[in-house]
Chains A and B, each alone.
Chain A
Amino acid sequence: MAGNDRESGAAPVQVRGTVLTVRRVDAYVAMTVVAPAIATRFKPGQFVAIAVGGPQSGMLGRRSFSIHDVRPDHGGTVEFVFLPREPGAQWLADCRSRDVLDVVGPLGRPFPVPRDPASCMLLGVGPGAAPLFALASRLAERGSHADYLLGAESADRVFGALTARRTGRSAVIATADGSLGSRGSVVDLLPTVVQQARTDVIYASAPVTVLRSVCALAGRYGIPVQALVSEPPMTCGTGLCMGCVLPAVGNDGVTRMVRACVEGPVFRGDLVRWDDVGTIPFDALGAPGWKPRPGGASSGTGASAASALPAIDTIRGGRSNAG
C-alpha cells in the first residue's frame, strides 16, 4: 500500500459521522463527530478531511483540520477546531448536533514520539495548538515532559491556554497585542523557554513563517524540530490533487516537491526548505532545466516519497549528534 500506511499504521477510512456537539471556544468552533473507525486509528498529528456544503455542494474542496482529541464515548468520537471564516468553515459551524458529515481520516504522518523520556516543547500558534494536547498525553505515557509555548494575535485566538497551564510542566503564552501573556511572538520567547526547560525536542504547529524562524533557531541550538504544516491549503487531503506541495530534502540529499497531506503534515524541521516554500527550487527533482545526474541518479524517484519521510528514531539520532 501507499507509503503513508506504513507510517501511520492504518489506512484512512471514509465514514458518515454524526455531529455530537458544536461549541464555541473563544474565536474558534470545536466540533465533535462520532467516527469510531477514525478514532481507533488516530495518532497525534493526523487530520480529518471533511466535505462541506452537503451532497450537491458547489464547494468541491474538502476542509482539513488537525484532530484535537479522540474520546471513547459513543464507540469513538473525533474532535477538531477551526475558525469559522471562509464559506466552507462557516457552513460547518452552522451544523447542529445529529447532522451527518462525510469525513475522511485519519490522514497524514503523525508526530513521531521519542522512545525514551525527553523534555519536549510543544509550540502552537492559533488553531495550530489543537493537535498538541493529544500529543502531550501520548508523550506523558512515555514519561516525557511537555512545556507549552502558545501564541496568537490576541487572547481569544490562543487555543487551549487553560489546558496547557493545567497539564503542562510549564506554559508560556505570547500574543501580538499583549492581551494574554507577554506581548510579541512565540519566536521571541523560544530561546528563554529552551534554556529553562532544557528542551530536547520541539514539536511545532504554526504558520510557515513561524515554523521557518523556529527551525532556524532550533538549528542554532541543535534541537530537532517536528513541524506540522497547515499551508499551502489542502484541497483533497488524500494525496490525489497534488495541490499542497512544498520542497523537502530526502535522506538522499535530493529536494523533492512533497505533498503536505501524505508525506506530511508532520515533517522533520531540518528537511523542509522553508525559505523556498511557494517556489520550485532550481535544484529540486524535475525543476525546469533539471537534468538527470550522470550515473543513474535520476532514479531518485524510485524511493521518492518514502525517503522524504524521516524515521521515527531520527529524533534521538538528531539529538545525540547535537549533544
Chain B
Amino acid sequence: MPADLRTRIGHLDLPSPILTASGCAGSGRELAQFTDVARLGAVITKSVTLEPKAGNPSPRMAETPSGLLSSVGLQGPGLDGFLQRDLPWLLSRGARAFVSVAGHTAREYGEIASRLSDSAGVTALEVNLGCPDAATAGRPFALDAASAGAVVAAVRGSARYDIPVFAKLSPEVTDIVSVARACVAAGADGLSMINTLPGMVIDPVTFKPALAGLAGGLSGPAVRPIAVRCVWMVREALPDVPIIGCGGVRTGRDALEFLLAGASMVAVGTVLFHDPSACSRIQRELEEELTARGVDRVSDVIGRAHQTAAYATERHTWG
C-alpha cells in the first residue's frame, strides 16, 4: 500500500503536500508541459502586483555552487492580466491556485487581496513580504515584525474569510520567530518559509557584479539547511500554525526533511529550472520514502523531528 499523501490544512483538502514555490513556475502554464498541475498540492503563483511590472534589466541570473542568484524584479502582467488569463487557465486545468501577492504599501496588498477574493477559484493567498516597503526607503517588510504584521493584517482584513492567508518570511532576520509571531497575531492562517537570501556574484572577467541589479536573492539546495532550521524554529515556537517549507528541495528525501522539521506542505522552487518535471518526481519519491519507512499517511511525519529531539534532551539530562 503506497503512503497516503493527502494533506488537510484547516478546510483545505490537497491531494499532495508538494507545491510549486512562488516565482519558479510562473502561473503553471510552462510547467504543465512537463507535469500534471492538477495532481500537485497547489501551484503557488508568481507574485501578483497591482500594475504590470517589467522587472529588472538582464542579466538577472547567476549560477552559484548548488544555488542560483536571481533578481527578476517581479516581472508580471499585473492583477488584471492575472485575473483575465492566468487564473482561469489554472482553474481550467483543475489546479488549485495559491496566489502570491506583492505590493509597496499595506494598502496595495489589501486592494489586491480584496480583488482576488472577489474572483472565484483562489484557494489561498501567500503574502510575499520580500518586497521593498515604500514607507521605509525600500527595506523589505519581512525584516521588521511590525511592518510584516501590518501587511498581513491588511491582507487578512481584505480577503474573504474562507481564503487562508500564508505569510512568506525572510531568513535575513535575527529572530525569525518574532516575525512569525507578529504575522500570526495579525491574522495569518499559516506561514511560508523561506524567501531567498541576499547575495552577490562578481564577474572576475568584467570586474563588475554579475547581475544588472547588482545583488540578488540566493536560492537552491545551497540554502536548504538554513530553511530547515527556520521551519524547525518556528514550528517549535508555534506548533499549531501550518507551515509551507521551501528552500532547495530537490528530492523526495529533501521534502521529507522539511516535513520532519514541521512543515505541513513543501514547495519546490529553483530546482524546477533544472528539472521542469521535479514536482511529480519529488511527489513520487516522497511516497516511496514514506512507504519504505512503513508510514501510512504523510500527516504522521509532520514535526516528528521535534519529538525525537525532546527524547534526546531527556536522555542527555539523565545520562
Q: B-contacting residues of A (Cβ < 8 Å)?
A: 1-2, 5, 11-12, 14, 51, 56-62, 102, 104, 232-233, 235-236, 238-246, 256-257, 262, 277-280, 284-288, 290, 292, 298-302, 304
Please tell me if the beta carbons of A60 and B25 are within 8 angstroms of each other in the complex. no
Supply 23 A–B pairs (Cβ within 8 Å), ascending by A. Answer: A1-B33, A5-B33, A14-B34, A59-B63, A60-B63, A61-B68, A61-B273, A102-B275, A236-B272, A238-B34, A238-B276, A239-B30, A241-B273, A242-B55, A245-B55, A257-B55, A280-B56, A284-B54, A286-B51, A286-B52, A286-B76, A298-B80, A304-B81
B274 contacts the other chain (Cβ, under 8 Å)?
yes
8 Å CB contacts to A: which residues of B89-128? none
Q: Which A residues are CB-close (under 8 A) to B65?
A: 58
Please tell me if the beta carbons of A299 and B81 are within 8 angstroms of each other in the complex. yes
Interface size class of chain B, counting residues whose CB lies under 8 Å from the partner chain: 35 or more
Nearest 6 CB-CB pairs, A to B?
A: A301-B81, A286-B52, A301-B77, A236-B273, A243-B61, A286-B54
| Whole-angstrom CA separation of A241 from B59 in the bound complex | 12
* A contacts with B: majority SS: loop
Max chain B C-beta neighbours (<10 A), residue from A62, A232, A241, A262 = A241
Please tell me if the beta carbons of A2 and B29 are within 8 angstroms of each other in the complex. yes
| Whole-angstrom CA separation of A104 from B80 in the bound complex | 32
Q: Which of B30, B68, B276 contacts A2 (CB 8 A)?
A: B30
| Known contacts A59-B63, A286-B78, A240 near B55 by CB under 8 Å | no
Q: Which B residues are CB-close (under 8 A) to A245?
A: 55, 58, 60, 75
| Whole-angstrom CA separation of A300 from B84 in the bound complex | 11
Q: How far is the CB of A260 from chain B (nearest CB, A)?
A: 9
Q: Which B residues are CB-close (under 8 A) to A238?
A: 30, 33-34, 273, 276
Binary per-residue interface labels of chain B (48-87) against chain A in the complex, 1 for a CB within 8 Å, 0 otherwise: 0001111111111101011110101001111011001100
Nearest B residue to A303 via CB reads: B85
Please tell me if the beta carbons of A51 and B55 are within 8 angstroms of each other in the complex. no
| Whole-angstrom CA separation of A5 from B63 in the bound complex | 28
Max chain B C-beta neighbours (<10 A), residue from A58, A279, A292 = A58
B7 contacts the other chain (Cβ, under 8 Å)?
no
Q: Which A residues are CB-close (under 8 A) to B221?
A: 58, 60
Nearest A residue to B276 via CB reads: A238
Q: Which B residues are CB-close (under 8 A) to A302?
A: 80-81, 84-85
Q: How far is the CB of B276 from chain A (nearest CB, A)?
A: 5
Q: How far is the CB of B66 from chain A (nearest CB, A)?
A: 4
Please tell me if the beta carbons of B75 and A242 are within 8 angstroms of each other in the complex. yes
| Known contacts A279-B57, A302-B81, A14 near B68 by CB under 8 Å | no
Please tell me if the beta carbons of B81 and A104 are within 8 angstroms of each other in the complex. no
Q: Which B residues are CB-close (under 8 A) to A301?
A: 52, 77-78, 80-81, 84-85
